[in-house]
Amino acid sequence: MSFELFEEETRIIEENRGLLQSDMLPESAIVPFAALLGHYERLLKDAKRLMRVSDRNEQTLQKTTQSLDEKNSTLERLSQQLSKYLSPQVYASIFSGKRAMTLTTERKKLTVFFSDIKDFTATTDDLEPEDITFLINDYLTHMSRIALEYGATIDKYIGDAMLIFFGDPETRGVREDALACVRMAIAMQRQMMNLRAKWTEMGYARPFQMRVGINTGFCNVGNFGSEERMDYTIIGGEVNLAARLEGVADPDGITLSHETYALVKEHIDAQQGDSITVKGIHRKITPYKLTGIYKDADEKNRFLRAESEGMRLFLDLDKLDEGSRALAIREMEAALARLRHESRIQDGEPLPVGGHVS
């Protein structure tokens, strides 16, 4: 307790008590002087009491401040952890108070993206669970980063599939939302080239191939579920159509509905497919398959890759120096010569004298 401040006052009181007990004061001054000294002592006592109260309040305030700091740190950690389970736009709207935690939905025109991995079960059938976990997480991590770069709302992961949409809680307009979604899909497919090259180099025999379906239409978007557990998502036939379009997409391809194609046709190249009937959709659907997805990609990419049944080619140009580049040329020329030789045998052509590979 900080009573050092009152040392001088205590000394004055002690001196004046001595003075009062001495014969130095006139008789007429003793009574008023004693009264004055008594008032001074009471003031000092009150000041000390206030000091004790102040000290206790300061300690309480320090403890309260420390407790608040600890709680704020805990809340910050929890909010950061919670943000991993929500799309950034949804997270921001909740913590800013813009979105109420009630079971409410809106009807909006959205562009819906749906993707999955071709033959995922067969592709991963001979992999260990740890390898599957690594590949899925690596794949979803890179695709999610691209989605967020383009301003997409990531709805959910469904195993190897992704449901993403544009137009809520933020929108740039229906046309711009559709264009952003298509450009995002192209960026994802180009990134998949790099991922497959990396996975092949790591020893995975059957790297993933992604298929994408995109549709634009009116959906119900908002909080679905119960008061105890709700999910911010989209529902409606237009969502199902995006999934059906993904099902008819080529591996490494992107298929659009007519509605999406009409909004972005000035910015892309696409080939119109035959009209199809899909489950759950009463009208005929005209799919449009994007072409030129990988246009100029190989020139910018330092990987050369080609994959088909019985053939796999992978070159990392950044890792080839002059010597290894010459060796790669010899190996590939030898492989081409062997391939031509096998083709001649199958076609029944006469072989060179001695039957050697040429």
Other CB atoms within 10 Å distance of the CB of residue 344: 15
Element of type H or E holding 290: strand 288-291
Which of the residues in the chain have pLDDT under 70? 1-5, 82-83, 95-100, 296-309, 312, 318, 349-358
Provide the pLDDT for residue 358: 44
pLDDT in tens, 32-87: 888 887 888 888 888 888 888 888 888 888 888 888 888 888 877 777 776 677 77
Match 């959709």 to its residue by tokens: 281
Q: Report the C-alpha dihedral over residues 166, 251, 297, 325, rounded to 10 degrees.
A: 150
Provide the pLDDT for residue 302: 58
pLDDT in tens, 237-261: 999 999 999 999 999 999 999 999 9
The CATH number for 89-300, chosen from 3.40.50.2300, 3.40.50.11600, 3.90.1310.10, 3.30.70.1230, is: 3.30.70.1230
Q: Are 99 and 93 in contact (CB under 8 A)?
A: yes
Other CB atoms within 10 Å distance of the CB of residue 87: 21
Provide the pLDDT for residue 97: 65
Angle between helices 88-95 and 27-83 (to 10 degrees): 150
Q: Are 181 and 261 in contact (CB under 8 A)?
A: no
Q: Are 200 and 305 in contact (CB under 8 A)?
A: yes
Provide the pLDDT for residue 130: 93
Specify the amino acid at residue 144: S
Q: Are 251 and 211 in contact (CB under 8 A)?
A: yes
Burial class (CB in 10 A: 0-12, 13-18, 19+), 177: buried
321-335 CB burial, b ≥16 within 10 A, e <16: eeeeeeeeeeeeeee
Q: Which two tokens stand for residue 183?
A: 């450009």
Helices (H), the chain: 7-21, 27-83, 88-95, 120-123, 129-149, 174-201, 237-247, 258-264, 297-300, 322-347
Q: Distances from the Cα of 135 to the Cαs of 17, 62, 201, 207, 249, in angstroms?
A: 89, 50, 13, 9, 22
Provide the pLDDT for residue 83: 67
For the chain, the domains span 4-75, 89-300, 320-355
Q: Which two tokens stand for residue 60?
A: 């309480």
Please tell me the pTM assigned to this model. 0.67
